[in-house]
Structure 1
Amino acid sequence: MVGFISFVTLAIALAAPVTAFPAHVSLAGLSREELDMAMSGFGPYSTPPPPPGPLEFGGTKLVNDAEHPFMDPKDTDIRGPCPALNTLANHGYINRNGIDTPSNIVRAAMEGFNMHNNLAKFTCYSAFVVNGNMVTDLLSIGEKSAKTGPDPPQPAIVGGLNTHNVFEGDSSMTRADFYDNGDVESFNETLFQGFIEYSYRFGGGRYNLTAAGEYRLKRTLDGIQNNPTFTIASPRLFSAYSESVNPINLWVDGRQDDGQLRLDHARSFFEAARFPDDFHRPARPMTADNEEVVLAAHPIEPGGNINGVNTYTVDPNSPRLPDKCSIYEHHVNYTLRTLYPNPTGNLLDAIRANVHYFYTSVQERGCTEIYPYGRVEDGENNAYYASPDFPEVDLPDYGTFPYPPVDLPEYCDTPAPAAVEAAPETAAEAAPEALAT
C-alpha cells in the first residue's frame, strides 16, 4: 500500500470543539471516556447498533419521489468523492449535512439503489472502520469534520471518505487523483469526456461491462504513466472495481433492467448527484460480482508505482480482487491495526462491534471471522449481532423484466470526436507486463 503508512503517521488529529453538556444527561457513574464524550456534546457511549437486514421488498420502485426531493447542499453541508452517497444525501435518504451512522447509510443504499445487503455492509463498514468515528458511530461522507466527535488517539485519523488511500483512491472515473491537486471530490469534466468516449467506442453509446473493462484499464494506465505515487492495492483495489461496475448495477432504471447505462443518467449522478426524473431503482438487490468480468477483460495485479511514474510493481501482500475473504482479513489485520494499534475501553468495544458487523458482509461466503484485538473478555459470547428473523424478500425472477422495457428518449451527450475512430482498439498493448496475471 504505497504511501499509506507515511500518510497515517503524519496525520494530525483535529480537536473537536467543546459544547455545552446536555442537561438531561447525568454525570454520575460515567467513566473517563464516557465523561469526555458527554462533555463534547455526544452523550454517553453505548455499543453501536447493528446494520439492518435485507429490504422487505426487494423489487423496483420510484425513488425520486415526493418524500425524497432533490435539494442543493448548503454551504455547510459535506459532500465527498462518492457520487452515489452524494446523491443519497441530496435526496435526503441520508442526513443532508453529510454526516450519518453506518447503519443508516446501509439502509439508504438499499432503499435508494437496491444495493444487496451484503454489498452495502461490506462497502460501508470497510470505509467506516478506517474513516469514521466508531465511538460516536458517525461518518463524514467527505472531509474530516468535528461533527463526528472527538478523535481517538493517533495514528487514527477519522478523516471522512476524502482520506486518501484507505478507501478513496487513485484512478477514479470522474475525480482527479490526490496527487494532482488534492481535490478528490470535485467532478472532473475532462475525465467524464473520457468516460463518454469509451462508452461510445466500446458500448455503442451506453456505459456497459465492455466499456467498463476498457475504461478501467485506461484509468489504471493513466495513473501509472502520470502519477508517481499511483497505487491500486488493497483496500483501493476493491473500491476501484466497485466504482467501475456500480453505475451499471445501480444507476440503470429498474424498468429498463438491461445493464446499459444512459449517458445522460450517468452525468446526472456523477456531476449533479441527482436521481434522474422518474428514476426507479434496480429490479432486484444488486451485488458487485460482475467486477470480475471487468477484471477478466484486462487482468491487473494489485500494486503501485514505487519510484516515480512507470515503475509499477506488484504488491505480493495485497489480496486479489475475487478473494473477498482475504480483502476482509487484510483490511482488518493490516489497515485497521495500523490505525488502531492499542485501543482500550469504549474504543476497543466499538471497534470489536464494528469489525464484527463488517464480517457479517462476508459470512455467507464462508469466510473465517477475524478477532484482531482478541475475543471479548468472557470468552463465551462474541455475538455482537444476531440476525433477526427477516421476512422473505419479494423478488422478481432473475433474467426477467418486472415491467416491459421503457421507450428511452434522446439524450444530449454528443458522440465522441472523430479522432476516436483512429485510436487503438484497446489500450491493452500499452499495459506494463507487471499488470498482467
Structure 2
Amino acid sequence: MSAWADVVGGAHARPGGPDDAVDGIVPGWVVRPGSVAEVQSCVRAAAAGGFALIASGRGAHLDVGAPPRRFDVLVRLDRLARVLDHQAHDMTVTVEAGCPLALVAETLASSGQWLPFDPPRREATTVGGLLAANLAGPLRASQGRPRDLLIGIRVVGADGALVAGGGRVVKNVAGYDLPKLHVGALGTLGVIVDATFKVRPRPECEEAVVIASPTASAAADIGLAVLDSEVPPLWLEVAGPGELAEGPGHGAASVVGLGGLAEEVAAGRELVREAARRRGLHTVLIADGAALRARLADFAVEPAAGVLRAATLPAEVGAVVETITGEARAAGVDVRCLADLPSGIVRAAVAEATAVPVLVRALRPALERGGGSLVIERGGGALKAEVDVWGDPGPGVELMRNLKAAFDPTGVFAPGRFVGGL
C-alpha cells in the first residue's frame, strides 16, 4: 500500500474490489493519479514491479474487449477531468482523458459548437474511454468516428515517458499519425492523458422520421434511397422487428435523423416522406430527434447476456439482420437488432448467454468469407471464455504484434485485451 500511496497519495490508493473487476478479474490495487506526472510515476512503478495495468475513466466501457491475461493495477483517470483549452474561433478543444463528455458539451455549447459523438452511456463516458474503445453512435453516419476529429494526443508510454502526437491546430500534418494508432487499441499501447479535437457547429434543430417497414430488408432499401437523396441525413438506423415502439409495431423500421437549419430539416422531412409514399410505407414524425438518437445510442448497453457486432456492406445490412434473427429463431432465443446503415454495422443483443456461442459459430464464417467480421462487443468474462471475442484478425495481426512489441515490450498495458491476444 505504501508504495502506491507514495505515488498518488494515501487517499487515492486502495486495494481492488469486485466493483473494479474487468471480466471477473479483480485488480490488486486501484490508484487515482491527479496529474500527468503521477500517471507517469504509476506506469514506471508498474513496469518496475512487473505489474500489468488497465487505465479507466469511470469504468463505463470495461466490458469491451477480451479478458486480460494479467491485471494487477487499475489506474483510474477520473481526477484528470478538465477542459484544458477551447479555441472557439479555430474550432478546437483540448481535454484531459478523464473529462466526461457532458462537461465537454457544456463548455462548447456557449459557442454554439459540439463534439458530435453519441456513444452508449454518454453521461458516464470520458474522453479517454471514447478513444480507447473507439466508441460511436448514430451520429457517425455524418460526423465520423472519434479518429476522424482527433488532431492531437498525449500518451504515457511503457517507460513512463510522455509522448505527444499531432497538435492543437487543425492544419497539422507533419510526421506519423500517432494519435489514430491509439484509437480503438483499448489502452494496450499506452495511457492516454489528454486529446485535442476539431469541433463543429451544433445543428439548430434535430428531428427524426420513422419509416415503418414489413421486413428489415425493406427498411434497409428505403434507408439506402434516403442516403442518396438531395438532403443527406444526420444519422440513419435500421431497427429489426419489434425493436422500435415508434411507428412500426412488430415490424422493422428505418429511422432517419435530420439536423441543421429549420429549412433544411423541413426539406429533408418532405424528401423522406415522399420516398416512403412511393413505396407505400407509413411514416411517423419524432419532433425530439436528439432524444430518440440518444436512446438508440444506448442499444449496446441495454440489458442483454451479450451483444454481437457484425460488419458488412451497407447493401447487405437488411439481409444480415434477417439472417441473425432467423438463426436466433432456430436456436429458440430472443434477439434484438439495430444497424447503422451507412457504416454497415449491425448489432444484435442476445437474451441468453448460452446462445451467444451458438450464434457466433453460425454467423461468423459467412461474414468473414464475405470480407466482414463478427465480434462479441460486450459480455461477461464467463461468456468470453467460451468463444473467441474477435474472430479472425486477418493478415494485419503481425503488424499489430510488432507495434505492441515496440510500444509495450514488457506487457504493462492491458495484456490480452486486444485482437489476437495483444
TM-score (norm 2): 0.29
TM-score (norm 1): 0.28
Normalized per residue, the structure richer in strand is 2
Give the number of the structure with larger relative contact order, counting CA–CA contacts within 8 Å between residues 6 or more apart.
1
